[in-house]
Structure 1
Amino acid sequence: MLKIIKNYFRARFKKILLEEIWLEDLVKMGMRIGDNCSIQPGVIFDYSHCWLIRIGDNVTIAPEAYLLAHDASTKLLNDYTKISSISIKDNVFIGARALIMPGVTIGENSIVAAGSIVTKSIPENSVVAGNPARIISTLEEYKVKINKQLNDPVTNIYDSKYTINGNVSDNDKNQMYEQLKSKIGFVK
């Protein structure tokens, strides 16, 4: 309990001292975030135009993703910065270090792979990857592929004990590493 209190005050002190921008600050400035969203540490939202960003319900944004509602490269050309909205619809997953550019809408039930650079809108039920991001499959095709892997008898499946919150032992961590050296597994 003491550790929780200590971490709380340390975070508040850092916010005041370093003038850190928190999600709640961006929402106060007009950015909209739906219900039941999981926004991981290190996600960068366009502070200068955050009110142009809308995030739906049940959205997960992995660490270090970027959402930019402006493109200042145009300022060199004509003294104006290009700006546009970003709309992330319901039930979207955005992978680590993905970059979402101005003017993009990501349709419902879509997945943006880690490291993707999204410069154009993505239709609903799509899986996209790459630079620039391109559709690699429908959500249904991806689900079939993943379920095939999940149901393969040689696939290792782990319960929630094998997560950061599950109190996994060092022995179990090492065993899991060895089992997954050259293959994919799944954790509940």
Structure 2
Amino acid sequence: MLGSLIHKWKLRGYLKQGLQVADDCRMVSIPDFGSEPYLISIGRHVTLASNVTFITHDGGTWVIRDRPRFKEVIRYGRITIHDNCFIGKGAFLMPGVSIGPNAVVASGSIVTRDVPPNSVVAGVPARVLRDIDSYAENLLAVNPPYDREAYRRDKVAELLRLFPRPW
């Protein structure tokens, strides 16, 4: 209960700073929205898994600012996640990227460029693995034969029935 209140309080703080989040988004935990949450826009029906990090600026410019020619150099970029996306655990979204609608970003990915609509990306840096339709077909092909009613009633028991412990 207390953890839930802390998450709501943190999120409210980011929203007051200009973070844009559309309806029916799910956040497993509050992401690291960084120091410029006003440069982040999240569309409808988006899921953010835990430990997602939004990096809206390049702090490396600090190293060159003592040089007269580079004294005023800054690098910021808006991060936009369009509707119906899933961002996996521990993903990093770098400055200026846009995640197209109906896209999946795999856990641990570092997104350094725009993600096309209807695609699945993974890796460091993230690259397109497949389109969303072939991803869906693959999931259907490997879907275990489970009892939907038992799953609704007791998810843990049904999953342990499908995937028993080894000892």
The structural deviation recorded for 1:168 is: 5.1
Alpha-carbon distance in structure 2 between the residues aligned to 1:111 and 1:11: 26
**Runs of 4+ in structure 1 over 4 Å off:** 160-163, 166-169, 171-174
- Structure number with greater CO (CA < 8 Å, separation at least 6) is 2
TM-score (norm 1): 0.74
Q: 1:157 is matched with which residue?
A: 146
Q: Could you tell which deviates more after superposition, 82-91 or 67-76?
A: 67-76
After TM superposition, the structure 1 = structure 2 runs for residues 52-131 of structure 1, keeping only pairs within 5 Å, are 52-78=39-65, 80-131=73-124
User: Where does structure 1 lack aligned partners over 5 or more consecutive residues?
Assistant: 1-6, 182-188
Q: SS in structure 1 opposite 2:142?
A: helix
Q: 1:35 is matched with which residue?
A: 23
After TM superposition, the structure 1 = structure 2 runs for residues 168-183 of structure 1, keeping only pairs within 5 Å, are 174-178=160-164
Alpha-carbon distance in structure 2 between the residues aligned to 1:148 and 1:85: 37
| Change in CA separation of 1:141 and 1:167 when aligned onto 2, cut-off 3 Å | closer
| Change in CA separation of 1:45 and 1:160 when aligned onto 2, cut-off 3 Å | farther
TM-score (norm 2): 0.83
User: Where does structure 2 lack aligned partners over 5 or more consecutive residues?
Assistant: 66-70
Contact 1:73/1:81 (CA < 8 Å) preserved in 2? no
Q: SS in structure 1 opposite 2:129?
A: strand
Q: SS in structure 1 opposite 2:36?
A: helix
Count how many residue pairs are aligned between Structure 1 and Structure 2.
160
The RMSD of aligned alpha carbons is: 2.6
